[in-house]
Every structure is written in C-alpha cells, then in structure tokens.
Amino acid sequence: MVTENDIQINSSKYENKQQALEEISTFVSKRTNIDKDKLLAGFLEREQESNTAIGDEFAIPHAVLTDISDSYVFLHIFEDGVDWQAYDDKKVRIAFSLVVAGDLHNVQHIRKLSAIASNLMDEEVQKILKESRNKKELSNLVNKMGEKL
C-alpha cells in the first residue's frame, strides 16, 4: 500500500542521473531504513546493465537487494527534469523507484511492482502522473496501478 508519504515532489535541480539516484536513495532509505549506500549501489548497478528510462519523461530505476524480504515502490516527481540519458533525449520528470527483494521475496509484493510498471504505459495514467501534484490523488493512482497486471 502506497501512502502520501511514499511520494516525493521535488523542485531541486539535479545535474545528472547519478545525483538524482542519490536523492532517491536518501528518500527511500528514510522510508525503509535500508542503508542509503546499499540502495544507491543497487540502483547504479541496474543502470549500468541498461538505462531504466522508458521514454516520454518516465523512468523506473530499481535496486535488487538480497537481504530484504519486503519490496517497495516510491514515486518521485522531479519538476526540473533530470538528464537520464534517455533514448528519446527527454528529461525524466517522473520516476518510480522499486526496491526489490531478490531472494526472500514475497511474490505478491513483486506482482504489485510489475503491475505498476505495466500500467505505466496507459495513456490516462501517464496524463495524471504528468499533471497532478496532489499526493492523495497520486497515491490512490499508484495503488490502483498495482492491482492488476
């Protein structure tokens, strides 16, 4: 269940993806008590495999960690946009960060994260994510996205 506290609306400027991922890691660490450096290393490792930007101002950075049992999702809105080196050259304004339990995972948690990714391709969903800055509305939307793959 995503709450308003899992949503970050951020007006700061970030020079690049690395800086944005540091900010994401700090935010996620506060919410989960998972070590910030461990999160950042996980996010960076995944970016090295392939860029997590999916075009049209969206990205889904994720960290797969082996010693956690719960998986998490957070929504980060970067008002100023982040140069994510996306294939379409658009700055990323909306990032869903996923923290994924690699070994001891709860399948229902991961199913929810997969459903959120899948529903991110829905045009109506994209419109709300780009326009709404109401955390209540956004958290309701994310929960709805997670319901069905």
Partner 1 sequence: MKIVGICACTAGVAHTYIARDKLIKAAEARNHEIHIETQGTIGVEFELTEEQIKEADIVITAVDIKVSEDRFVGKKIVRIPTHIAIKAAGQLIEKLEQEV
Contacts with partner 1, residue ranges (CB under 8 A) = 46, 49-52, 54-55, 60, 62, 64, 87-88, 96, 98, 100, 105, 107, 110-111, 113-114, 116-118, 120-121, 149
Residue 47: CB minimum distance to partner 1, A: 12
Spatial separation of the C-alpha atoms in residues 54 and 135, rounded to whole Å: 23
Element at 91 (helix H, strand E): none
Minimum CB separation of residue 36 from partner 1 in Å reads: 20
In the chain, what are the helix, strand and coil shares in percent, each to the nearest 5? 45, 25, 35
- Residue 62, beta-bridge partner list: 98
**Nearer to partner 1 among residue 11 and residue 50 (C-beta):** 50
**Comparison of 111 and 134: residue with beta carbon closer to partner 1:** 111
Q: CB of 113: closest distance to partner 1 in angstroms?
A: 5
- Strand 58-59 versus strand 7-10 pairing type: unpaired
User: From the CB of 87, what's the least distance to partner 1, in Å?
Assistant: 4
Largest CA distance in the chain: 37
